Chain A
């Protein structure tokens, strides 16, 4: 007979407010005595040092052989209590944590019933723990290479941190160059550093780092494996350029006769050629040929680039290449997209020429952009005399995105400053709330106030061109309530900038699925813990950084890139990782070779031996999910840590079948 200790946590009032914890502990000690319970205690914070010491002391003094803790979800403190048991000399896997907070006190409103349910949950834990066996964690080696997906500032930062520490990184980017959105910006708030000036050194570093292998113009096809041992299939799209010969001299795009609107880097504001690098400081320097737009690929003739290339680096016969890399950790930094302003038809974007999005405006005021940094109207020459900046376009709006896009207030202030500085125009910021937390931001707000920008508190209702007065002729009219005055205003402007929301990538769901992650309802990737573990995910070995997790500014993005790198480096440095020893295995004599389980394994851990007609499970790949155990009609698959005996005993316990002063045979 095992000697079991039951410990019921108050969790302050989190549990004790809805569950009579003392009664639960006393009940367990009395009514489950015949099931092995020798002590039942309740304590204010079981997870505190004193709480843990209580358990350790009982293990030593009462000779406990099993421990059941009724507290919060195992996600939070399972490890705490297992470690406490280990310190007292008990195998950690002989401890069972049952949840009476998430599954009881937080979801019920009747104290008597919640208390009764807690008793049942404790009884289930007691029955189950009887069948626990001492286990040792599985150690798996960590492959020292890392994959970073996304070559924006988050991905670049993560890659550099890891590479600088001496480990190899594969940096995969979908576009022809790394740099991401930051490379498109002109200035960065609140210091007004030139974005390119601070970003391009990092891009060059990433491009030339001996430990970084750049895979631009490439996409992830497939991800197999698990923490420490991922195998990732990558499609390197055909560039039609022999990179070993190309010098990046630029003659090809100079000679290319085909002009194409650049919807990506220039946000539709400028042109590029069919063979191109997105911008002058692109890393790598090699161009790509945009096959759907290339005259040769469309008509079969042209080849101007090939004729003029001084190093014969053009190769129209290139094909996509599939490569597979093995890595121990993956950092996902795939960033964001901007909200399609056409969805708010009353703002006239797409219909009224001088209504532009924030990203378009970044290109408009960028010295390397289509107007060489001149802030001008769509006619290409007129400087605006009055400019409006509309905040929260597609953000903080239940009709589109409920969340705040974080960056728009500061971006609006930055634009106000740039317009003021370069055109002297009157600038209006239309905001609902000004949000300028973080270092130096409020000071920047003050600066823009001093410059004389007009701040109008009101969400813009509509923008149209229907003039009612001579002043309004030929202008964009912004209709808004100045809510601080309580009057509807019509403001004639020359240009309106829409601060569009940041949105998840259109293919975020697909990407999440590829990597075995989950997205929130609005499409951002879900972190392991929103406060305490923002760069980890529920899938061990896969980290997230930057806007893929939610809207954030550059400083926060860089911090996350570095944090994700630190996480990966920690694992690489340890060289191996201890995994839960919960694995399924096949009892060969019972296996009938029906193969029902074969297709079910989400981790491809099941192997079928045709010669012997039996199934085998690879313990290195198995994650202990239990799908095959439940599916096996012959009961030939057993799960360590979740055996049928354990599960059935827990169910009996929950049903209170064995409760009472008298012993009932198990």
Chain B
């Protein structure tokens, strides 16, 4: 089946990129440096280069259904090598934000729920607390992985490397009001 080009998705995603200095991903020449450099490319449904082409072509459904941007390890290898100066990592973040904002992501991915749990912990306490994050992912593990993870945690606990009580910052009320100035409605709590 053939498709037709629509450019609204490209513009929506562009507008989600603030600090990437006008991240010019429509300037992509499809050379593949990003995907050749990417340490996770082999595990992605589409390579980062393909995702850029798909965003530029407006293939929103296929992009949001893909695991590509949830598999980005934020290693920035693509970004520093891109001959067109495109911040591909930032584009991956933008797609993650878009996907969470629209609540549209593929079933079974750990990334979205982990990110949300992580973010919630921070806005509630000002700090991260590893044990509270575990439920967001551990039940999605295969049985062997599950036990391995529990074993790791136990060993770390014995070595005194896992916190027992959630830490929190002192001026938490100020901190929460600060966040409300950035995200005035919802988001927090």
B residues less than 8 Å from A459 (CB atoms): 31-33, 36, 83
Q: Which of A397, A482, A483, A487 contacts B30 (CB 8 A)?
A: A483
B31 near A479 with CB under 8 A, answer no
Known: A398-B85, A459-B83. A488 touches B42 (CB 8 A): yes
B84 near A486 with CB under 8 A, answer no
Which segment, of B46-54, B93-101, B140-148, faces chain A? B46-54
Q: Which of A397, A398, A458 contacts B36 (CB 8 A)?
A: A458
Q: Which of A397, A398, A462, A481 contacts B32 (CB 8 A)?
A: A481
A488 near B33 with CB under 8 A, answer no
User: Is A539 close to B, CB under 8 A?
Assistant: no
Q: Complex formed: what's the CA distance from A432 to B41 in Å?
A: 19
Residue among A398, A459, A462 having the largest count of chain B Cβ atoms under 10 Å: A459
A496 to chain B, nearest CB (A): 14
Known: A432-B31, A457-B32, A483-B30. A396 touches B83 (CB 8 A): yes
Residue among A457, A461, A462 having the largest count of chain B Cβ atoms under 10 Å: A461
Using a CB-CB cutoff of 8 Å, which residues 478-517 of chain A contact chain B?
479-483, 486-489
How many A-B pairs have beta carbons closer than 8 Å: the answer is 66
User: Is B81 close to A, CB under 8 A?
Assistant: yes
Known: A486-B50, A488-B47. A432 touches B29 (CB 8 A): yes
User: Is B35 close to A, CB under 8 A?
Assistant: yes
A480 near B32 with CB under 8 A, answer yes
Q: Complex formed: what's the CA distance from A458 to B34 in Å?
A: 10
A481 near B83 with CB under 8 A, answer no
Known: A397-B83, A398-B84. A481 touches B36 (CB 8 A): yes
Q: Complex formed: what's the CA distance from A482 to B29 in Å?
A: 14
Q: Complex formed: what's the CA distance from A457 to B49 in Å?
A: 13
B88 to chain A, nearest CB (A): 12
User: Is B92 close to A, CB under 8 A?
Assistant: no
Q: Complex formed: what's the CA distance from A427 to B36 in Å?
A: 19
A343 to chain B, nearest CB (A): 13
Q: Complex formed: what's the CA distance from A488 to B49 in Å?
A: 11
Q: Which of B30, B50, B81, B85 contacts A461 (CB 8 A)?
A: B81
A residues less than 8 Å from B38 (CB atoms): 488
A389 to chain B, nearest CB (A): 16
A488 near B30 with CB under 8 A, answer no
B residues less than 8 Å from A487 (CB atoms): 47
A480 near B46 with CB under 8 A, answer no
B residues less than 8 Å from A479 (CB atoms): 36-37
B residues less than 8 Å from A489 (CB atoms): 36
Q: Complex formed: what's the CA distance from A487 to B46 in Å?
A: 8
B residues less than 8 Å from A398 (CB atoms): 83-85
A461 near B36 with CB under 8 A, answer yes
User: Is A214 close to B, CB under 8 A?
Assistant: no
Known: A398-B83, A483-B30, A483-B31. A462 touches B47 (CB 8 A): no
A486 near B46 with CB under 8 A, answer yes
Nearest B residue (CB) for A459: B31
Nearest B residue (CB) for A432: B31
Using a CB-CB cutoff of 8 Å, which residues 442-486 of chain A contact chain B?
457-462, 479-483, 486
Q: Which B residues contact A (CB, under 8 angstroms)?
A: 29-38, 41-42, 46-47, 49-50, 81, 83-85
> Can you list 13 A-B contacts with CB-CB less than 8 angstroms, sorted by A residue number?
A398-B84, A398-B85, A432-B31, A433-B29, A458-B36, A459-B31, A459-B36, A461-B32, A462-B36, A479-B36, A481-B32, A481-B33, A486-B46
17 further A-B contacts with Cβ under 8 Å, apart from A398-B84, A461-B32, A488-B47, are A346-B81, A397-B83, A398-B85, A399-B85, A458-B36, A459-B83, A461-B34, A461-B35, A461-B36, A461-B37, A462-B37, A486-B49, A486-B50, A487-B47, A488-B35, A488-B36, A488-B42
Top 9 A-B residue pairs of the complex, sorted by shortest distance between their CB atoms: A461-B36, A481-B32, A397-B83, A481-B35, A459-B31, A458-B32, A461-B37, A488-B41, A483-B32
